Structure 1
Amino acid sequence: MKNILAFGDSLTWGFKAGEWTRHLFDVRWPNVLAKGLGGKAHVIEEGHNGRTSIYDDGTCLDNRKGSDALPMLLATHQPLDLVIIFLGTNDIKFAARCRAFDARMGMVRLVEITRSFGYLPAYKAPDVLIVAPPPLCETQDEFFSNLWNHAIPESKLFAHHYAIVAKEMGVHFFDAGQVAKADPTDGGHLDAANTAAIGTALVPVVKGILGI
């Protein structure tokens, strides 16, 4: 059986727009993906609300830097055949770094970490699939409109920048914005149908990468 690490933020955790709760297990995209792979792979859900790629978030008690969490997870869950990195939205929510290019640079670092980590001698570095988040959209929710309405134009550039990273670094790329749209309830998270749609769309992609 193949092992896949689904490494992401609230879109991977399954944050339910408007409710501040979690989507049910069977609609969260990592579990939809696992079901679609028909028992040929173990998909490890590793979503952390607010997770960034490499940037500090001093507004919270928990460490949300993906570059701090990733090495521990690579060690914990080895051997891994594939790491899916699905981050970026939280990189651009702060006005001081409201550029998809910043998320692109963070993604480069996460790919480097995945490739260069000191795996046990019997195990090789896993393949990497980077996923561009769906763009943000307008919302009337006061908190979330203040959080990321300013970042909507930049969020539309995730796919462009991540495709460049994938090509330059020789990793795989998927644009989640092609199959899912943000819920206008809060402008950034996904409803059940859209989070499930990502998992469904990833099934043939992952099968192709892993040859299963």
Structure 2
Amino acid sequence: MKTVLCYGDSLTWGYIPDGSGRHALKDRWPQVLQAELGTHVHVVADGLNGRTTAYDDHLSGFERNGAKTLTTVLGTHFPLDLVIIMLGTNDMKNFICGNAQGTKRGIQRLIEIVRTAPYQKEAKAPKILIMSPPALGEIDEPEFRLTFEQGIEQSRLLATFYKSAAEPANCAFFDAGSVAKTSPLDGVHLDAENTRAIGKAIAPIVRDILEL
């Protein structure tokens, strides 16, 4: 059986845009991917609200720096055939990173970690699929605008920057913004239809990577 790890933030966790809770399992993109791929593949979802690519955020009791926790997650779930990384939305906060170039550097660090982690039992490093998250939306809410400032504009550059990081590193790439848009309710998260769309769209890509 092939194993796929989905490493992400609240878009992977399944945060409902109105703040009322978490999407049903059947609506979260990793579980939609699982349903599309069938029983020959095991999809592991590891999404943490607020997770960044490689930047500290001390406003939470959880470790949100994706670079600091990735090795542990890889060690928990190995052997892995594929790691799908969709992070960067939280990097767009002005007190985290706030620019696409810095987030690209974070993605490059995550690629390096996947490739060099101390896997045991002679397990090989998994293949990697880098996904750029949908761009932030414009909403008329003062705190949102102060939090993201230039991040809304910068988030629109992530797909280009991620592709330029993925291709030289021989990683697959997919722009989640090509099939999904953030909700107008909060400008950040996805409604059920849009998160499902990501899982369905990447299923053929994952099949090809895993040679199913």
Do the structures match in fold with TM over 0.5? yes
Alignment of 1:12-161 (within 5 A): 12-94=12-94, 97-148=97-148, 150-161=150-161
Partners of 1:100 and 1:50 lie apart in 2 by 17
Question: Aligned partner of 1:194: which letter?
Answer: N
Shift, 1:20, TM fit:
4.0
Identity %: 46
Equivalent residue of 2:128, what SS? strand
Instruction: Show structure 1 runs of 5+ residues with no match.
Output: none
Shift, 1:122, TM fit:
2.5
Partner of 1:188: 188
Partners of 1:159 and 1:104 lie apart in 2 by 10
Partners of 1:88 and 1:204 lie apart in 2 by 24
Query: What CA deviation, in whole Å up to 9, does each residue of 1:74-130 have, x standing for no partner?
Result: 111010000001000111212563111111000000000000011114311000000
Query: What CA deviation, in whole Å up to 9, does each residue of 1:39-58 have, x standing for no partner?
Result: 12111010000000110012
Question: Aligned partner of 1:173: which letter?
Answer: F
Query: What CA deviation, in whole Å up to 9, does each residue of 1:109-167 have, x standing for no partner?
Result: 00000000111143110000000000001113454343325311100001000000111
| Alignment coverage as a number of residue pairs | 212
**Normalising to structure 2: TM-score of the pair?**
0.96
Partners of 1:96 and 1:50 lie apart in 2 by 10
Q: 1:139 to 1:126 in 2, by over 3 A?
A: same
Shift, 1:26, TM fit:
0.4
The answer to whether the 8 Å contact 2:92/2:152 transfers is no
Instruction: Show structure 2 runs of 5+ residues with no match.
Output: none
Question: Aligned partner of 2:33: which letter?
Answer: L
Equivalent residue of 2:168, what SS? helix
The answer to whether the 8 Å contact 1:145/1:186 transfers is no
